[in-house]
Amino acid sequence: MVHFSDSLSRLLAELQKLPGVGEKTALRLAFHLLKSPDNAAALADSLRDVMSRVRFCSVCFGITEDDPCRFCSEARDDGAICVVEEPQDLLAVERTRAFRGRYHVLQGALSPLNGVTPDRLRVAELMKRLEGGGVREVVIATNFSVEGEATALYLARMIKPLGVRVTRLAHGIPLGSDLEFVDAATVQRALEGRSEL
Amino acid sequence: MVHFSDSLSRLLAELQKLPGVGEKTALRLAFHLLKSPDNAAALADSLRDVMSRVRFCSVCFGITEDDPCRFCSEARDDGAICVVEEPQDLLAVERTRAFRGRYHVLQGALSPLNGVTPDRLRVAELMKRLEGGGVREVVIATNFSVEGEATALYLARMIKPLGVRVTRLAHGIPLGSDLEFVDAATVQRALEGRSEL
């Protein structure tokens, strides 16, 4: 491998820590930044800026500049809480404009083999919010992965005894899909969840 | 679209200026960085560090921390200069270990429609190096794009009158290729360039 200067090697190493960025992409990004010093400076500044301003909301544990965050402070339905794994999942739900309740970000999903037990997630904080009363439904919107499903089942078992309704996003065929290309397990779930026309 | 905090919006905008980074990738990168503040700080630092240390070599216009760069100062064949478009192209040639001469980085390719005329490239600087004498061959390794080919022809016309040999990297079938999947123009060039076995 060609030897790079120390500072460039360090930048390449840092870039390769980003998701989806390997050696070639890191090189491409680095050379792009070297060619546009203004962009590189602006990127460095804005990274520092974000890291100094953005924090976790003390109520829902989403990300925010103001604590509590917009979703926790604006007028919304206090009777429903949508539970997601990560802040970006919160945005995915919010984008639909179909949910007007509050949110709770677990900051991960249960994965005992990787050391992610309930105490590593924001589960205790969620239970505390529910114990305060006034919540009639918890919509669990964790991912439909093994970890996300396990987390959903775990939460349902924790929450139901409180007399709160626990719901889960529907499984089914994605909009615009060609049935023949949808995996069998999804079609099966869609069948099980079929509704009257 | 969901409204982000100002600092996060700015970071997303900066990330989207990177090649190959759209809205979704920018979000993914940003949330990754938010989850690992140490990486974000290290990335910001190393960007600043690179930008303050790395400069263009005053001889070949590649990138370097020390001027002149390693390729221009170490013991090499002064009789051959390989001309490339960008610093990363220099590395692509260097990686082969098959060229032991000097380099010259044009910092682009001719593209009159986009306002890239010869005076926007490091052509004058190349001609000056050649006028110094002692160079017997210029290997043109610009890209095999319309712009790269035009640049190669332009340079050949400029350099040949100096009595310097001008060569171009060979066209042909890439190693390991299945002939049936190689485009016709490449196969034609490979035929034209065929050699005795």
Domain count, chain A: 1
**Burial of residue B16 (number of CB atoms within 10 Å: 0-12, 13-18, 19+):** middle
Q: What is the mean pLDDT of residues A12-17?
A: 94
Average pLDDT over residues A26-45: 90
Domain that holds residue B130: 77-168
Is A45 inside any structural domain? Answer: no
> Is residue B36 assigned to a domain?
no
Element (H, E) at A77: strand A77-84
What token pair was written down for B106?
A: 């044009």
Q: Report the chain A residue with the minimal C-alpha distance to residue B50.
A: A7
Contact criterion met (CB < 8 Å) for B46 and A20? no
Return the higher-pLDDT residue of A188 and A4: A188
Strands (E), chain B: 55-56, 63-64, 77-84, 101-105, 137-140, 165-168
How much is the ipTM here?
Answer: 0.71
What's the pLDDT score for residue B19?
Answer: 92
- For helices A37-53 and B37-53, angle between their N-to-C axes, nearest 10 degrees: 150
Report yes or no on A72 lying in a domain: no
pLDDT above 70: percentage of residues in chain B:
98
Predicted confidence band of residue B48 (pLDDT cuts 50, 70, 90): very high
Whether A163 is covered by a domain: the verdict is: yes
Residue B129 lies in a domain: yes
Distance from CA of B88 to the nearest CA of A (A): 7
Yes or no, beta carbons of A31 and B88 under 8 Å apart:
yes
* Nearest-CA distance A99 → chain B (Å): 13
Here the CATH number for the domain that contains residue A133 is 3.40.1360.10
Q: Which of A29, A128, A34, A85 is nearest to B63 (CA)?
A: A34
User: pLDDT of B25-41, one tens digit each?
Assistant: 998 899 899 888 899 99
Q: Is residue A141 a contact partner of residue A82, using CB atoms and an 8 Å limit?
A: yes
- Percentage helix, strand, coil for chain B under 3-state DSSP, each rounded to 5: 50, 15, 40
Distance, in Å, from the CA atom of A169 to the CA atom of A97, rounded to the nearest integer, reads 15
Considering only the beta carbons, identify the residue of A10, A25, A91 that sits closest to B2: A91
Band of the pLDDT at A48, cuts 50, 70, 90?
A: very high
pLDDT tens readout for residues B166-195: 998 888 888 888 877 888 888 888 888 787
Least reliable range by pLDDT among A119-133, A176-190, B111-125:
A176-190
Q: Is the pLDDT of residue B85 over 90?
A: yes
Cβ separation B65–A41 shorter than 8 A: no
How many residues make up chain A in this entry?
197
- A19, A43, A91 ranked by CB distance to B14: nearest: A43
